[in-house]
Chains A and B, each alone.
Chain A
Amino acid sequence: MVQPTTDAQALAASVYEAHSGRLMALAAALAGPSNAEDIVATAVLRAMTSPSWDGVEDHGAYLTRAVVNEVKSSYRSAMRREARERRVAPSSEVAPAEADPTPELLAALAKLPLQQRAVTFLTYWADLTPAAVAAELGIGEGSVRKYLARARQTLRTELR
């Protein structure tokens, strides 16, 4: 790990330490666990070297949107591919008594548009209210409620 040598580097390190776990979980939910590290590394670097970074007040929300945008611009349909791969080759490390819930969840999440996936993750894993999700993603609270309702409808069907 690189040791910070400037104030900017020190700030970046502290911001990153505070949010990296959540960003990895978000990237895993949006693009699959195997793509999370690439997504987060690229998104965080772009964000922290952006001319806008110095003026950012809510670093956590800014980085959340950076990760979502990075997933959006990725041309690889990571979620669908990962879901297919898991269905074909389930993990041999999973004990027979406990089925790995992720293949079905990944396949179900892959059917959601990106915004619905992001809203669902922030609601269920991060336990954010609709208002907080809206602030995090920079969208309206009404849109959050709409996306969540649709996501639940799709997931309820897919995860029967």
Chain B
Amino acid sequence: MNDDLDDRLRAGFQVLADEAGAAPPVPDLSAAVPVAHRTRRPMVLTAAAVIAVIAAIGVIAVRSADEPDRVSSADTADPNARPLVGTDWWLAEAEGAAGPIPIPTEGTPWYGLRFDASVDCDDERGECYGGPQIRGSDACNGFQRKMEVDGSTIRLGDHFGATTLLGCSDDLSDLMQAFFRADEFTYAIDGDSLVLRSASGSDVLTYRALDTPFGPTSSVVVDSGEVGPSSFRLVWSEGGLDFQVVETTTGEGGRGGSGVAADPGRINAMRGEVGGQPYLFGVVPAATSRFVYEPAGGEPQELDEHDVGDPDYAVIGGFVEGSAAQWDAVAYDAQGNELHRLRWG
């Protein structure tokens, strides 16, 4: 063991610790209400400021066009209830006049729903975007509609935003398309469950709160996180790596992603973006002991590979610096031999 290195590291870490100073105050949990684990990142990262933001999200304040701010009684009756607005909900059960309708499970698209109320203003342009709205999937296409919350009734307004225009014909999409094209429905929240009921009472959709803006999965989640208003998730399922990104800024609601397939003996990698920050992800041979990202004109950066339990492959995922159009990704074995070099651009 290199004693000099060990001593330098110990001393250096202690200096860093001393320079960091005292820890911030313990957070005041009495001011926070349970919310979906994912929250918007506040601009000022003090404990008090974060608590204030979370408390504000936790108490519903949806402004309707003609009425003063009103807190929905359906949300405050149960202190453990998830808030209607700001929670990411996923469809768990559906029931029509003829009875329960099966929900597709793992491996198929999940059906999400989100209510938002915040407003973002562009001062330079003098324009504001957002306001009370609902967006989600009707099991066929995505949709976005203005909304008003009146007690336990949600009234739907104009559609807006770009959506797909797929044609679907199955029991679930028939029910959900009709449901979200109607003028109103009622809602009730019980803990982390949201129950929506059509005006006729015959159609019922039950949603569960998610801790992430992505659907449930039993695949291997290699990495996940947030950058500003964007969330990402890197998921490995046999033979492929999916990079999922969701932009939850009100008025956009964009959801994107890309993926790479495993390629025997080679690197298959791409560089994506989360909130404007480059993120490199890829599949490498299991023999890889060291992986280096080399942007043209920039500093090489080493990324750790993740063991995903596959005998033939490992997975790479991490933020990198530099958005050079040309970059190399290099995999080395334990002896330092180059296994494969991937060049982009």
> 0/1 per residue, B50-82, Cβ < 8 Å to A?
110010000000000000000000000000000
Which residues in A have their C-beta under 8 angstroms from that of B24?
37, 40-41
> Is A113's CB under 8 angstroms from B304's CB?
yes
> 0/1 per residue, B22-39, Cβ < 8 Å to A?
111111111010110101
Which residues in A have their C-beta under 8 angstroms from that of B110?
none
> Is A120's CB under 8 angstroms from B2's CB?
no
What interface size band does chain A fall in?
A: 35 or more
With A and B bound together, what is the CA distance between A99 and B228 in angstroms?
Answer: 37
- The chain B residue with its CB closest to the CB of A147 is B304
Other A-B contacts than A23-B23, A105-B8, 4 sampled, CB-CB below 8 A, are A21-B23, A42-B50, A80-B321, A125-B17
What interface size band does chain B fall in?
A: 35 or more
Q: Which of A12, A28, A155 contacts B9 (CB 8 A)?
A: A155
Instruction: Quote the shortest CB–CB distance from B24 to chain A (angstroms).
Output: 4
With known contacts A6-B30, A143-B307, A45–B21 Cβ distance under 8 A: no
With A and B bound together, what is the CA distance between A77 and B17 in angstroms?
Answer: 19
Instruction: Quote the shortest CB–CB distance from B164 to chain A (angstroms).
Output: 30
A interface list, Cβ under 8 A from B: 1-2, 5-6, 8-9, 12-13, 16-17, 20-21, 23-25, 27-29, 32-33, 36-38, 40-42, 44-46, 48-51, 69, 72-73, 75, 77, 80, 100-102, 105-106, 111-116, 120-121, 124-125, 140, 143, 146-147, 150, 152, 154-156, 159
> Is A51's CB under 8 angstroms from B34's CB?
yes
With A and B bound together, what is the CA distance between A154 and B10 in angstroms?
Answer: 16
Which residues in B have their C-beta under 8 angstroms from that of A73?
225-227
With A and B bound together, what is the CA distance between A77 and B6 in angstroms?
Answer: 26
Which residues in A have their C-beta under 8 angstroms from that of B19?
28, 33, 102
Binds A, one of B194-202, B254-262, B269-277: B269-277
> Is B318's CB under 8 angstroms from A156's CB?
no
Q: Is the interface of A mostly helix, strand, loop or mixed?
A: helix
> Is B304's CB under 8 angstroms from A44's CB?
no
Is B98 in the interface zone, CB < 8 Å from A?
A: no
Instruction: Quote the shortest CB–CB distance from B231 to chain A (angstroms).
Output: 9
With known contacts A42-B50, A69-B225, A101-B15, A113–B302 Cβ distance under 8 A: yes
B interface list, Cβ under 8 A from A: 2, 5-6, 8-17, 19-30, 32, 34-35, 37, 39, 45-47, 50-51, 54, 211, 223, 225-228, 274-277, 289-290, 302-304, 307, 318-319, 321
With A and B bound together, what is the CA distance between A5 and B32 in angstroms?
Answer: 13
Instruction: Quote the shortest CB–CB distance from A133 to chain B (angstroms).
Output: 14
> Is B13's CB under 8 angstroms from A41's CB?
no
Which residues in B have their C-beta under 8 angstroms from that of A159?
5, 8
Which residues in A have their C-beta under 8 angstroms from that of B275?
75
Instruction: Quote the shortest CB–CB distance from B343 to chain A (angstroms).
Output: 22
Instruction: Quote the shortest CB–CB distance from B213 to chain A (angstroms).
Output: 14
With A and B bound together, what is the CA distance between A147 and B35 in angstroms?
Answer: 36
Instruction: Quote the shortest CB–CB distance from B187 to chain A (angstroms).
Output: 21
Instruction: Quote the shortest CB–CB distance from B29 to chain A (angstroms).
Output: 5
> Is A105's CB under 8 angstroms from B27's CB?
no
> Is B26's CB under 8 angstroms from A152's CB?
no
Which residues in B have their C-beta under 8 angstroms from that of A32?
16
Instruction: Quote the shortest CB–CB distance from A85 to chain B (angstroms).
Output: 13
**What are 7 residue pairs bridging A and B, where the CB atoms are less than 8 Å apart in the complex?**
A21-B17, A37-B21, A40-B24, A46-B39, A72-B319, A105-B13, A114-B304
- The chain B residue with its CB closest to the CB of A105 is B12
> Is B13's CB under 8 angstroms from A140's CB?
no
- The chain A residue with its CB closest to the CB of B28 is A2
Interface centre among A12, A51, A120 (most CB of B within 10 A): A51
Which residues in A have their C-beta under 8 angstroms from that of B227?
73, 75
Instruction: Quote the shortest CB–CB distance from A77 to chain B (angstroms).
Output: 6
Interface centre among B2, B13, B21 (most CB of A within 10 A): B13
Which residues in A have their C-beta under 8 angstroms from that of B226?
73
Instruction: Quote the shortest CB–CB distance from A93 to chain B (angstroms).
Output: 11
> Is A25's CB under 8 angstroms from B290's CB?
no
> Is A42's CB under 8 angstroms from B45's CB?
yes
> Is A50's CB under 8 angstroms from B37's CB?
yes
Which residues in A have their C-beta under 8 angstroms from that of B290?
150
> Is A12's CB under 8 angstroms from B27's CB?
yes
> Is A24's CB under 8 angstroms from B304's CB?
no
Which residues in B have their C-beta under 8 angstroms from that of A24?
17, 20-23
With A and B bound together, what is the CA distance between A37 and B19 in angstroms?
Answer: 11
With A and B bound together, what is the CA distance between A157 and B317 in angstroms?
Answer: 25
Which residues in A have their C-beta under 8 angstroms from that of B12?
101-102, 105
